[in-house]
Homo-oligomer: A and B are copies of this chain.
Amino acid sequence: MRKYRIGILGMGTVGQGFINNYHLNKEEIDYKIGGELDFVNVLVRNTVKKRDVNLDKKVYTNQFDNINLKELDVVVELIGGVSSAFEYIKKALENGCHVVTANKELMAKKGIELIKTARENEVLIRYEASVGGGIPIISTLNDSLSSNKIERLMGILNGTTNYILTKMTKEKMSFKDVLKEAQELGFAEADPTSDVNGSDAAYKLAILSKDAFGIIVNPEDISREGIRNISLEDIEYGQELGYKIKLLALGEKSNEHVELSVQPALIPVEHPIASVNYEFNALFIEGNVVGEIMLYGKGAGSMPTGSAVLTDVIDITRKKNDYIGTCSAKDIVVNNIGRSAYYVRMEVVDLPGVLGKIAVSFGEQGVSLDSVVQRARGGKHAPLVFITHEIDRATLNAVLESIQKNNYVLEVMSIIRVVN
């Protein structure tokens, strides 16, 4: 079995997500890549620290020079920051290693230089995890939309600020209070400056401006404004006028110029990006052929970001993607039991006590109800609507059939699945 030899620089939360993802789905991934990943070296500051990851102790080193790049297929850089990460990646590429990185600051500031070095050395550098965590944004812009010119990007690219704005909107909490709560829960950094002032989103937008517009931009040139000054009053007026406030990274390209900015913005509540809440991220893309596309998912976290790193590694190891499916399992059967909550509308006799009798009948037959709506219509018949808790469809059918035998139930009008 072919072994792909991997060196990893840094073993924090993303590194652990990467390794744990591989071990969790190893069988399927090995099938896809026709081989397996061999984690040969891991560079860390502290080689004896306990980590939540299943790796042989002897792979750890605290000296980059102990890593024999000539023996590696892929180097995964998860140190962050610019100075040593840049030096290590450059050396890895020059020694014929493919590189995967999650480093947004580095890719924003030095991405094009590293891509050119990769090209000169006929290897690949991938950085899906640097923007939008587990959402496949970079590959979508470069591969899946390769037939389009991208005209506009609108991104919610920072989970911390989106969490804060969502909480302010939904719970009428002040910026300061939400930030404090988020820090206590670990959703926000002890020093949240780079998130809150828009710098983190600006780095990500700088990366996207290359992949969407083909433009190399210094991230310092992206105008930015943070969310510190957003008041509850503005959020409420926004709602009154039909808008939500989000921290938006905006890129718009015309023939002559590109506009790149990060700022709080009002978005119509009906717009798909307005429904992106809490720690979720999204990128709304306008292509000149495909029209509007949106990608949505978790923009941070050990597993989602680790998953993006692993996807890049898999992509590099696969020479040929022939889409035969995701695994070789054969003992799976299609079995539609229809287990779900259900909405049921029935026409009943409009007499006192009927609702109670029906609820009791359901209870006796093991069906519990989540909510009930009864509207008086002032006639002999009335509609009765309820939503059940989870139940198999066949059971529900049997119960409804039995309940229809009662003479106060006239007809079951609708049965519709409820999906969360």
Minimum CB–CB distance for A271 against chain B, Å: 7
Interface string of A372-392 (1 = CB under 8 A from B): 010000000001010100000
A214 in contact with B275 given A291-B303, A332-B258 (CB within 8 Å): no
Which among B150, B288, B297 is the interface contact of A24 at CB below 8 angstroms? B288
Contact A144 B136 (CB under 8 A): yes
Contact of A118 among B119, B248, B322 (CB under 8 A): B322
How many copies of this protein are present in the complex? 2
Give the CA-CA distance A420 to B100 in the complex, in Å. Answer: 35
A132 to chain B, nearest CB (A): 10
Contact check, B315 vs A146: say whether CB atoms are below 8 A apart: yes
Task: Give the complex CA separation of A211 and B321 in angstroms.
Answer: 12
Give the complex CA separation of A241 and B307 in angstroms: 37
A287 to B420, CA, bound (A): 16
**Closest chain B residue to A116, Cβ basis:** B324
Contacts of A215 in B (CB 8 A): 325, 329, 332, 334
A217 interface contact, C-beta 8 A: yes
Contact among B216, B259, B264 for A337, CB-based, below 8 A: B259
- A29-B146, A304-B290, A326-B150 known; A420+B140 contact, CB < 8 A: no
Q: Is the interface of A mostly helix, strand, loop or mixed?
A: mixed
Q: How many residues of A contact B (CB 8 A)?
A: 134
- Give Cα distance in the complex from A136 to B280, angstroms: 20
Contacting pair A334 B134 (CB below 8 A): no
Question: Within 8 Å of chain B (Cβ to Cβ): is A143?
Answer: yes
Tell me the chain A residues, 72-88 only, with Cβ under 8 Å from chain B.
none
**Contacts A142-B321, A322-B118 hold; do A24 and B311 have CB atoms under 8 A apart?**
no
Query: Mind listing 27 A-B residue pairs with CB under 8 Å?
Result: A24-B289, A29-B146, A124-B321, A136-B143, A146-B318, A213-B332, A216-B325, A230-B414, A234-B345, A237-B373, A237-B383, A241-B387, A257-B333, A259-B338, A261-B338, A264-B416, A265-B417, A265-B419, A266-B418, A266-B419, A267-B418, A268-B420, A272-B296, A289-B306, A289-B310, A291-B298, A295-B295
